[in-house]
Structure 1
């Protein structure tokens, strides 16, 4: 909790404090961090106390609220990653369309939709989780009521949740990255005089193509971390719904490990950003570690950071014109 709150809190502060970083991708990254902060602040202490005591120490409200928060955070994470991947797809494949309309209004609508959709999906957990009471004392918080309807509901819900909050979004993200890879490879081959990447290009052209690759790489790293950290949890809940042999010691250990991985994901993104983005690393050093001299970072910084501008290459008959866009990601 300390590691995650520190990292995500610093990330949110960095973006809010510096106008240069207030763009569409960074807004989505802040949205991702806010969802992680909610889970870390409320759910981690709850689970630590539950697993550290012999008897269930809370009432029915906390039983339902914790389950609701976990699914809410999961929804915010995967939907935000999907939106980030779409943003990168548009920036690379259709860069000029990003500057049509009102970007601030569009991103506000996207963030609202992400939270509303996640909140609605999480309602099923708030409804189904039940506090089991024996002899007038709470024993444990169970996913569904103890009846035949509860078992059927658990199976259907877990399959639907796996599709909506894992498989379908990852499939969409994968499609975006396949399309991005195709256009990046194609653009590198269709430079003037049939130049290939690194040959026949000036420094500015190379820098723009490299920046596109590196920015997409940051988002892809978030997606990979999400799969690694959340896959064990999805495996467990699916097994728990369909297995009829009983709860063994192996699955108890697997459950605890999957929960730890789930919370680890809420901590790791800011630190992945620290290592992958030289610009964000400077801000982290400035605000968190206090080991860098305060300085102004301008849009002309040539580092492959999340504040670099993207450009669109327009092919003419004999030359190429670089069209700069606003600072983003």
Structure 2
């Protein structure tokens, strides 16, 4: 499977179609769209790129620029944000240009890159989500076991990217361009006929690795975490401070569940489309297929812009970070609470909470002593 818009008109079924067309007519490009359609699609895709890049770059700044935000979960969110921003810049822009008229302008080198990098970015994104789910599971279900350190987390992120690049090597190796009289196409020229063993095996393997298996892992881990946080006794103490921590964990888990569900829904039509095409290549020859694919591809690529919005809506610290990042806007006001959320460390708040509880106990003891002394005097 090739999660790029180029697959619509450049993979084997279409290359065969183009080869047949090339023998009959090479004057008219049947995929040329009227100007008004191109304009509407360009606006729709431009919104994805703009919101995704601005939002995800801001998320990265919020985490890296504030010490309090540099946690294991947030380092993985940085990797997720980088993957999404990269996907928006490279995959969305260049493949949209290709899909509009099915004419590849960027050379064979970039053809190889664009057929491999999107899978790399998607794999990195969903592996980051899976790692966050496992980290939340360990933190809540097994709180006494050792947690991942920031160093190990960074190494894990590097390994994720290394595995992702290895996974996409076949796409890069078999990618090439074919030049016709009226256009150039970029395709992955798998050995054997379309739907043969090599391509179909690879497509199924990729869908399992970058979609089905990670979602299954997250479904299991978040289900267990959800039952523990909302439906049963929580292991650990029952102090007020601990309950506050539980509330914070619930918010983080809720936020990440929304992120995962959004990702799954956005990419589901895309994967269904390519699996159907693997078994029935005739769908690529339909007159309406270009518009259908542009819509499916838009939905899949829009997954890169939702996460910053979700963070802003469901997390106070990210909300404060966005306000600080856009404080130059006339309608944005940064409060003292926003500064407190990002500048003070967790240790400081815990210490302060402990002192408050201790002071309350001391004061209560003093009151009890005074009441006892008063009763003795009256007696």
Short-chain TM bin:
0.7 to 0.9
CA apart distance, 1:120: 0.9
Q: How many residues matched? A: 293
CA apart distance, 1:258: 2.0
- Taking the aligned partners of 1:202 and 1:147, their CA distance within structure 2 comes to 65
- Taking the aligned partners of 2:214 and 2:88, their CA distance within structure 1 comes to 23
Preserved CA contact (<8 Å) 2:58 2:322: yes
What residue in structure 2 maps to residue 5 of structure 1?
53
Which segment drifts farther, 290-299 or 84-93?
290-299
CA apart distance, 1:105: 2.1
- Taking the aligned partners of 1:124 and 1:308, their CA distance within structure 2 comes to 51
Deviations along 1:243-270, whole A, 9 cap, x unmatched? 1434223443332122112221111111
For structure 2, which runs of at least 5 residues remain unmatched after alignment?
1-48, 352-379
CA apart distance, 1:149: 6.7
What residue in structure 2 maps to residue 212 of structure 1?
249
Match of 2:273 among 219, 233, 236: 236
Preserved CA contact (<8 Å) 1:72 1:122: yes
Asked if residue 285 in structure 1 is aligned to residue 333 in structure 2, the reply is no
What residue in structure 2 maps to residue 327 of structure 1?
none
Preserved CA contact (<8 Å) 1:286 1:293: no
- Taking the aligned partners of 1:81 and 1:191, their CA distance within structure 2 comes to 26
Preserved CA contact (<8 Å) 1:79 1:169: yes
Match of 2:232 among 173, 186, 190: 186
- Taking the aligned partners of 1:300 and 1:29, their CA distance within structure 2 comes to 19
- Taking the aligned partners of 2:88 and 2:288, their CA distance within structure 1 comes to 26
- Taking the aligned partners of 1:35 and 1:164, their CA distance within structure 2 comes to 17
What residue in structure 2 maps to residue 40 of structure 1?
88
For structure 1, which runs of at least 5 residues remain unmatched after alignment?
193-200, 310-329
Match of 1:162 among 202, 207, 221: 207
Preserved CA contact (<8 Å) 2:51 2:305: yes
- Rate the CA distance shift 1:96–1:191 in 2: closer, same or farther, 3 A: closer
Asked if residue 252 in structure 1 is aligned to residue 298 in structure 2, the reply is no
- Rate the CA distance shift 1:169–1:280 in 2: closer, same or farther, 3 A: same
Match of 1:171 among 212, 216, 220: 216
Query: Counterparts in 2 of 1:1-329, with a 5 A limit?
Result: 1-53=49-101, 55-99=103-147, 103-135=149-181, 139-145=184-190, 147-148=192-193, 151-184=196-229, 185-188=231-234, 203-247=240-284, 248-290=286-328, 291=332, 292-293=334-335, 295-297=339-341, 298-299=344-345
- Computing the radius of gyration from Cα coordinates, the structure with the larger value is 2
Q: Which of the pair is proportionally richer in strand?
A: 1
Other structure's SS at 1:231 match = helix
- Taking the aligned partners of 2:95 and 2:194, their CA distance within structure 1 comes to 27
- Rate the CA distance shift 1:41–1:216 in 2: closer, same or farther, 3 A: same
CA apart distance, 1:9: 0.7
Preserved CA contact (<8 Å) 1:63 1:129: yes
Deviations along 1:265-293, whole A, 9 cap, x unmatched? 11111111000101110110111244214
Preserved CA contact (<8 Å) 1:38 1:69: no
TM-score (norm 1): 0.80
